[in-house]
Amino acid sequence: MKTVLISGAGVAGVTLAYWLQRHGCTPTVVERAPRIREGGYKLDIRGAALTVVERMGVLDAIRSMSTDVRGGSVVDASGRRVASMDGDTFGGRVHGDAEIQRGDLHRLLYDLTKDDVEYRFGDSIASIDDGPDGVTVTFDGGDTRVFDLVVGADGLHSRTRALAFGPEEDFVRELGYRVSVFSVPNHLNLDRWELTYVGPGRTALTYSTAQDAEAKAMFLFAADPAVPAPRDRAAQQRMLADAYAGEGWEVPRLIEGMAAAPDFYFDSLAQVHLDRWSNGRVVLLGDAAYCASPASGQGTSLALVGAYVLAGELAAARGDHERGFDAYEQRMRPFAEKNQKLGPSNIKRMVMKSRAQVRVSMAMLALMGRMPGRDRMMAKVIEPIHRAANAITLENYEG
């Protein structure tokens, strides 16, 4: 096993390229975007994933790029701060967890690999022909190449998965919510602070970080899981505006910002479940295989750990890809399943169903802010995330 095509230059794909190259393989990464994606929301690196980036030698660099968010507040429709917490408590971080902007992490990992890994930007896989001696891949650009293995690290809507495993609807499970994130002017003059507004069936938040002069706006709202999320940007923006019509606080002004946002993102909150993550010489990684949804807070950590384990098990199998794929799945599946369980439970705390539930939640937050045992109560909320983030023992494949 020497030549490996990786579809997707996100966190999972680039991390896998790094480890494969380090184990003596020749990876090629194909990415339909014209370059490494910049921007994106802030994300956390927790538990076992911290060990992965430490072994890559980039943990200190990640910490130097910290968002440095000092704290967060929940506000009501008038803008009154109902409850405020420090940044780590508000973001559910413990035990040295790191928070970084997605674009900064992408750039850091790409710079680590760009001199040793072949990247094909502005292209994607058109077809896959899996044979006994290799995988013949035809690219949208028109050329054809043969690889020993193909890895689909191309996200929730993975084309690789569709080509090698079947249609998306067989594996993607909607949670019944939509998410949108984009940059907005920092008109509230936030200084490394996050403000969250909760309405019935919809939550809106905005924050600023140490690495960005602008602010980010994020929206989470309930939606009919039987209706697919639109893929057209104009339709997505109409759906977002309709979902928040008549809402209070700064929501109308934040919604207006989407028209000029260069990094507008919109999608379903969904998970991916497959009986098996490999088929012949094709294997899936990250969100393409076991998306836990952004509500889990563990998507990046799952991508980092999965890439490390897949590359390591393929190296340990010494060319036997079937044995390597089996070992990868055996190690990763329990970890992925524990983290997937976080998504449905977390989103119920993030988006309230009714006005009555919002009122009760606001009253409890206000009361909790005055109670001496607040830190202990918050620790009980955070602890399940911490347990799931550490629910795997990483081998030292170079030992």
Residue bearing the bigger pLDDT, 372 or 107: 107
Residues of the chain with pLDDT > 90: what percent?
78
Cα–Cα distance between 45 and 242 in angstroms, integer? 34
What digits encode the pLDDT tens for the residues 198-246? 999 999 999 999 988 899 999 999 999 988 899 999 999 999 999 999 9
**The CATH fold of domain 3-69+96-172+271-345:** FAD/NAD(P)-binding domain (3.50.50)
pLDDT grade for 82, boundaries at 50, 70 and 90 = confident
pLDDT grade for 94, boundaries at 50, 70 and 90 = low
Q: Bridge partners of 119?
A: 29
The residue-averaged pLDDT of 107-125 equals: 97
Residue bearing the bigger pLDDT, 17 or 363: 17
pLDDT in the model for residue 211? 80
The residue-averaged pLDDT of 114-143 equals: 96
What digits encode the pLDDT tens for the residues 297-351? 999 999 999 999 999 999 999 989 999 999 999 999 999 999 999 999 899 888 9
The residue-averaged pLDDT of 143-165 equals: 98
Q: Reply yes or no on whether the pLDDT at 373 is more than 90.
A: no
pLDDT grade for 92, boundaries at 50, 70 and 90 = low
3-69+96-172+271-345 and 175-269+349-383: identical CATH topology: no
What digits encode the pLDDT tens for the residues 16-64? 999 999 999 999 999 999 999 887 789 999 999 999 999 999 999 999 9
CATH class of 175-269+349-383: alpha beta
Q: Domain residues of the chain, as ranges? A: 3-69+96-172+271-345, 175-269+349-383
Q: Reply yes or no on whether the pLDDT at 89 is more than 90.
A: no
Residue bearing the bigger pLDDT, 88 or 152: 152
The highest-confidence range among 49-58, 61-70, 382-391, by mean pLDDT, is 49-58
pLDDT in the model for residue 90? 66
pTM: 0.94
- Cα angle: 267, vertex 268, 274; to 5 degrees: 120
Q: Reply yes or no on whether the pLDDT at 157 is more than 60.
A: yes
pLDDT in the model for residue 356? 82
pLDDT in the model for residue 194? 95
pLDDT in the model for residue 357? 79
Q: Reply yes or no on whether the pLDDT at 91 is more than 80.
A: no
pLDDT grade for 149, boundaries at 50, 70 and 90 = very high
pLDDT in the model for residue 93? 66
Mean pLDDT is lowest, of 54-68, 70-84, 260-274, 347-361, for 347-361
The closest alpha carbon to 368, from 83, 50, 59, belongs to: 83
